[in-house]
Structure 1
Amino acid sequence: MTDALWQPVHAERAALAADLKDLTDEQWATTSLCTEFSVREVLAHITAAATLNPVRWMVGVIRCRFDFDKQVAMRLAEHLGTSPAGTLARFRDVVTSTTKPPLPVVAMLGETIVHGEDIRRPLGIRRDYPLETITRLAGYYASSDMVVLAKGRIGGLRLKATDGPFATGDGALVSGTTLALTMAMTGRKAYCDELEGDGVPVLRDKA
């Protein structure tokens, strides 16, 4: 079962590496949806997550005195490299990694897809995610606030996908693609523009 869960993680990492192989220096410097980071820095962050086992993660937490933002910045810097080509090469090295912090494997899928969209969206790159993969991820976020507030963000709302079986919650309706719902659940306000229903303003305010 664990191997089956890692397969979509590896597939999404490989797809992201392929999408980024021809970026210009200017594109690498583009501000991501995580507005404090460039797309290159977000990629380094994804790489870092794929190199941290529970022991290394905890050592970093202690070293940074439980300042998690400081640890993120420290690990990002470790994997940025000296050039965009170097950043991408480091990411390619971890495409098939099964190393992870003390998180469920599906959270690593979230790291790859959500941060992948943080990179792709500002660059105008679109990916058609396998419906089974993105539905699994949406279900995870709808039931968890681990790593990122998601379950708490959609409290009192009913989410329903227009392109697949994902549905959750009760209350004012928010409908749209599974990807748009997933990204909005994780606080990406830009994706609220792709959603419909009486609950959209509520979700937008929480993003």
Structure 2
Amino acid sequence: MITYAESIQKPDAPIFQRVCPLPLDLCVSHIEDRLQARDFRVHEVYGRNGDSVVDTQSRDSKAIVPRHDEELAFFIFEAVQQYFEQHFLVQPSDSLVLAQHEFFAYTPGIGLKMHADDHVLRSDGSVLTRDVQRGITAILYLNSDFDGGEIHFPKQGLELRPNAGALVIFPSNRNFPHEVKPIVRGQRYSYQRIYGILNGETKRFEVASTICVPS
């Protein structure tokens, strides 16, 4: 079954890129202060059987509670709203709801295995778990002084080298699997905000009950 967010996505939705003109220094300072204070959680990535992945190169990115920046958050929301209206079959009463937001720090040797942001798959390709409240992912890159850390979208044939101020937006579903190449030098900082798409008629982040996709 597919989510409401996925059922109203246009099949040719691209990966959207925009440059953020706002200063990011305070975000970087906040991340580095939290890292020094060891005030973070280890971001676990789940394997195909649902168990935590033990490989430290795929699970040791550090998730940090974001520093509140209303202007920055509004910039990202406006960009996601534009993407939503252009690349989804939006009903007038549909709306975006923030489902998750965190800063992430990737240190040398750390990457992220291939995944999609709204689900975990079993080895046969069927869905093990799905977060229906995740519809569109936005990632703002906060620094440039590192090597490695490229984000790779194999289905779209796209690999991006993140630079400070680059905002990348894409659907969170299985059609946009991606990975992060391991960091070679320095530390890579990013701000991730994931939005759910609220069905205006039912007021739910529902799974479409009449549309099936092959596993």
TM-score, scaled relative to structure 2: 0.28
Bigger relative CO (Cα 8 Å, ≥ 6 apart): 2
Q: Which has the higher helix share?
A: 1
